[in-house]
Amino acid sequence: MILTERQRDSLREVINIAFGRAASSLSELTGHRIIIDVPQVSIYSIGELTPTLEGMVKDEIATVHQIFTGRLSGDALLILDYKGAAALTGLLTDEDIDAIDVSTKEVLIEVGNKLLNACLGTFGNMLQVHITFSVPKFHLSELNDMLNTLVIGKEELRYALLIATEFKIKNSEIGGYLVIVLGVGSLDRLLEAIEKLG
């Protein structure tokens, strides 16, 4: 499935607004001006997702994972490489963080949680459906192991919305990826709703 340019632009716009909400909430919490940009949005089949992501993030990754259910259901992930995750929490908490401990992990979960909630909340509003979320979980693992948990045992043809994310804090830029895995039906409905926005 390939996004038309119009779909892509609209989707980016919608996600940008959603991230704006998450960014302002984080800015308020930390006292730093935080901007979260969306440089790119694309769609991949679940099979293409792994090789695509492998080219983007390397080695050990930090993932915040939330399951969402309701009329729109699937998996949402924030993926950062280990260094980026440490750097991001360091900037948010004004500390030098070189290893991710439990408290650091919680900060990442909250960041991921805010982004995913904002994004999916917006999708829910657009589709005028109610989505409920699981409490977010945090994983430190190899990319493959993480993605394998998504691929296995689901029959429906599924797609991944890959949203490149850039956190801008205190003159630093930290890149990450938001992945929203949806069934083909959910995705069709989402794109339909986005078409209407335009």
Partner 1 sequence: MDIIYKEALSNWIEVFLSRGVFVTDENLKVILWNRWLEERSGIPSEKVLGKRVLDVFPAIREKKADRYYYQALHGEAILLAQRLHKFLLPMPPKKDYSCYFTNMQQTVQIAPLVSGWDVVGTVTMIEDVTERIVGEILLKKEAEAARRAEQMVKKERDLAQHYLDIAGVMLLVLDRNGNISLINRKGCEILGYNNEELIGKNWFEVCLPEEDGEKIKGVFISIMEGRIEGYRQFENRVKTRSGEMRIISWNNTLLRDESGQITGTLSSGEDITEKKRLEEALKAMSITDELTGLYNRRGFITLSERQLKIAERARNKMLLFFIDLDGMKWINDTLGHKAGDEALIATAQILRETFRESDIVARVGGDEFVVLAVDTRMTSADKLYRRIKEKVKKYNSERNGPYNLSLSVGYSHFGPDKPKRLDELMEEADRMMYEEKKGKKGEESLFSPGHAEHNPYRSQQDV
Q: Which residues bind partner 1 (CB under 8 A)?
A: 28-30, 66, 70-71, 89, 92-93, 101-104, 106-107, 109-110, 113, 117, 121, 124, 130-136
Q: Which is nearer to partner 1, 135 or 152 (CB)?
A: 135
Q: Which is nearer to partner 1, 8 or 21 (CB)?
A: 21
3-state helix/strand/coil string of 75-102:
EEEEEEEHHHHHHHHHHHHCCCCCCCCH
Q: Which is nearer to partner 1, 60 or 110 (CB)?
A: 110
Q: Which is nearer to partner 1, 24 or 50 (CB)?
A: 24
Q: Which is nearer to partner 1, 43 or 176 (CB)?
A: 176
Query: Considering the complex, what minimum distance in angstroms separates the CB of residue 130 from partner 1?
Result: 5
Query: Considering the complex, what minimum distance in angstroms separates the CB of residue 55 from partner 1?
Result: 30
Report the DSSP pairing between strands 34-45 and 158-169: antiparallel
Query: Considering the complex, what minimum distance in angstroms separates the CB of residue 45 from partner 1?
Result: 28
Write down the H helix ranges in the chain: 5-30, 46-54, 82-93, 102-127, 143-151, 184-197
Instruction: Extract the tokens encoding 136.
Output: 């977010």
Taking the C-alpha atoms of residue 42 and residue 12, their distance in angstroms, rounded to an integer, is 10
Query: Considering the complex, what minimum distance in angstroms separates the CB of residue 74 from partner 1?
Result: 14
Query: Considering the complex, what minimum distance in angstroms separates the CB of residue 182 from partner 1?
Result: 17
Beta-carbon neighbour count of residue 48 at 10 Å? 14
Taking the C-alpha atoms of residue 35 and residue 13, their distance in angstroms, rounded to an integer, is 15
